[in-house]
Each structure stands twice: as C-alpha cells, then as structure tokens.
C-alpha cells in the first residue's frame, strides 16, 4: 500500500489511499531511464489514443474486477444513458463517467454555504497572497501560471481550493452556486499524472498541465476561476454545460466530466469571498487532504 493518507470527513477516519497503477507511476516518475517514455506518455496524443481504447467494447471486461478491487457501490449509480440496470455499461469509459442517482448526493441549499463541486480529496487555503510560486504538499503552484496574466490581479489574496479525483472516484464536476459565465479559456500543456506520487516527483504539474478555465460570476461568492486540470490517460475534458459567455447555471447542475484518469479541479476566489470550515483548514495545515462528498458544504460566509 502507499503512504498517502487522507481524512474522510464523514467518519473522521484517517484512510490510507489505494493508488491505481502505483507501481507504474513510481517507475515513471522515480525510476532511472524512464524519462523518454514519460515524455511520450504525457503528450496529448497518447491520452487520446488510450481514451479511444477505454471507450471501446473491449475495455468493458475490466469493469467487474475494478468494482471489486476498489469497493465501488454500484447501487448508488445510474446506468449509462440508454443502458439497462442489467447491462449498465458497455465500455470502461461509460462506467468511469457514471452518474450518481440524484438522491445519493443532495447539494446544500443554504445560499451562504459553498458545497463541494466534485467528489474527491481536498486541500484548501484562504489566502493566495501573491503571484509568486508557493508549495502545497510538494506541489508548486504559481497563481500567474494557473489563471494567466489577465486574471492574476483579480484573484491575488483570495482563497484557493484543490479537489483531487482518483480513478476510483465519481468523475463529473458541478456548479456550486447560481451565476453566469464571464469567460472560458483552454490552456495548453502536457498531461502528467496528478497522482500524489507524481506530484511529489514533479512539483509544477497543476499549473502547467493542460487545463480549461471558466471565469464565473456567482450569486453568492463573487467572481471565481473554475479550472479543470487534465492528466495522464485523461482522453478528454468534456464540458456538458454551455461555455458561451453570458450563459447561466444553477447550483448543483453538472458542469462537465473527465474521461479515464485521475484528474483535478481547482477554484480560486477573490479576496474575502468565502471562509473555509475549521476542519478543512486544520487538515490542510497538517498536510492532509479531506475527502468530501459531492454537494456537502465546506465553506461559507
């Protein structure tokens, strides 16, 4: 097992993470002589080709063992659109982008509370003090690189939240408030793994990987940058919602999803736009991620 641990907020247990593809990740990022292979694997072309395989019927045979190995509660999820309960997924990607049954993940309706926009392991910080690089558990984040020159002054001094999604997790991401879209950008880059073992070995991944950024005008939390970070073997970041400027959205609505791979969603707010709950802050200060379920609130004002 890995030495990566996180706090499950629901149970308050310290959980040891079972990392998908751990041996391969260690070899690619720590092994000698693997740099040439890593250079090829992190190109978008490889992830697109891998994504095509994951979308084929040949990949479906992996689903039962994956469910068993990672204890996926299949009863919590809907069949893929057009499929039946008896035959819910015809490819691994159909299984990977499975949707929760609506009653399983209700969103906090209190307008002053900020609900989890993805289901995963969270780090959160209340003040990104400037545009210089800073370290988050060996991950080097640079606000200027993360949001771009155009928006660095908008978000300097604001809160930053990172949700890390493992391959075993729900891979759709949602809007956390009502609002409208001010801007949308696709930021090119490589596709390194966002596995914690890779992040420890290569610190700049989150601010240099291929990513998509939406600038949101929200009803209750001001202007927010919402950033999806691509990763190794993620064939595509799919935006389910309209990315046209001026388009509107509601709290809890699906924004999009990742195809196969571990991925990350980052939000950055303006200064004093929301305050984090104490347990999230304390866990982050201890260097521990907090596992949050989709829709449960973790900040507010």
Reported as a single tens digit per residue, the pLDDT across 212-236 is 999 999 999 999 999 998 765 555 7
Q: What is the mean pLDDT of residues 248-261?
A: 92
pLDDT of residue 214: 98
Of residues 197, 205, 121, 123, the one with CA closest to residue 166: 121
Long-range own/partner contacts, residues 239-243 (CB < 8 A, 24 or more apart): 239/212, 240/172, 241/175, 242/181, 243/181, 243/184, 243/214
pLDDT of residue 281: 93
pLDDT of residue 230: 75
Q: What is the mean pLDDT of residues 198-224?
A: 74
Residue 199 has pLDDT above 90, yes or no: no
Q: What is the tens place of the pLDDT at every residue in 9-30? A: 999 999 998 766 545 444 444 5
In this structure, how many other beta carbons lie within 10 angstroms of the beta carbon of residue 125?
20
pLDDT of residue 130: 55
pLDDT band at 192 (very low <50, low <70, confident <90, very high): very low
The model carries a pTM of: 0.83
More confident residue, 165 or 189: 165
Average confidence score pLDDT of the chain: 83
pLDDT band at 262 (very low <50, low <70, confident <90, very high): low
CA distances from 74 to 7, 168, 189 (A): 23, 12, 34
More confident residue, 98 or 203: 98
CA 198 to chain centre: 15
Greatest extent of the chain over all pairs of C-alpha atoms, in Å: 53
b/e code 141-175 from CB counts within 10 Å (16+ = b): bbbbbbbeeebbebbbbbbbbbbbbbbbbbbbbbb
**pLDDT cut 70: percent of the chain above it:** 74
| Angle at alpha carbon of residue 232, lines to 148 and 74, rounded to 5° | 110
- Only one residue has tokens 């015809």, namely 90
Residue 201 has pLDDT above 50, yes or no: no
Q: Which two tokens stand for residue 29?
A: 């990022």
Quote the strand ranges of the chain, DSSP E: 5-8, 13-16, 113-115, 120-125, 133-136, 139-142, 160-165, 172-174, 179-187, 211-218, 222-229, 237-239, 248-249, 254-258, 263-269, 275-276, 289-292, 297-300
Specify which residues 142 forms β-bridges with.
133
**Are 279 and 290 a contacting pair, CB within 8 Å?**
yes
Q: What is the DSSP letter of 102?
A: G
pLDDT band at 4 (very low <50, low <70, confident <90, very high): confident
Q: What is the mean pLDDT of residues 72-91?
A: 96
**How far apart (Å, rounded) are the C-alpha atoms in residues 81 and 276?**
36
């Amino acid at each position: 097992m890995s030495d990566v641990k996180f706090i499950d907020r629901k149970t308050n247990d310290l959980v040891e993470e079972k990392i998908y593809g751990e041996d391969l990740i260690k070899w690619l990022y720590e092994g000698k002589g693997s740099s040439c292979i890593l250079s090829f694997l992190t190109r978008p072309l490889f992830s697109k080709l891998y994504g095509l395989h994951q979308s084929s019927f040949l990949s479906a045979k992996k689903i039962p063992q994956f469910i068993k190995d990672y204890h996926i509660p299949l009863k919590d999820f809907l069949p893929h659109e057009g499929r039946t309960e008896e035959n819910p997924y015809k490819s691994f990607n159909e299984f990977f982008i499975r949707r929760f049954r609506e009653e399983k993940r209700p969103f906090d309706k209190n307008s002053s509370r900020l609900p989890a926009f993805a289901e995963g392991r969270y780090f959160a910080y209340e003040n990104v003090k400037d545009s210089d690089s800073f370290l988050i558990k060996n991950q080097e984040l640079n606000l200027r690189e993360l949001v771009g020159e155009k928006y660095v002054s908008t978000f300097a001094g604001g809160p930053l939240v990172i949700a890390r999604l493992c391959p075993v997790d729900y891979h759709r991401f949602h809007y956390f408030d009502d609002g409208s879209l001010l801007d949308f950008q696709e930021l090119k880059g490589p596709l390194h793994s966002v596995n914690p073992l890779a992040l420890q070995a290569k610190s700049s991944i989150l601010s240099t990987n291929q990513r998509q950024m939406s600038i949101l005008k929200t009803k209750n939390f001001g202007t927010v940058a919402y950033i999806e970070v691509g990763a190794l073997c993620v064939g595509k970041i799919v935006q389910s919602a309209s990315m046209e400027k001026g388009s509107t959205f509601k709290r809890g609505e699906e924004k999009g999803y990742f195809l196969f791979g571990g991925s990350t969603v980052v939000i950055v707010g303006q200064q004093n736009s929301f305050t984090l709950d104490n347990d999230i802050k304390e866990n982050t200060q201890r260097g521990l991620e907090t596992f949050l379920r989709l829709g449960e609130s973790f900040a507010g004002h």
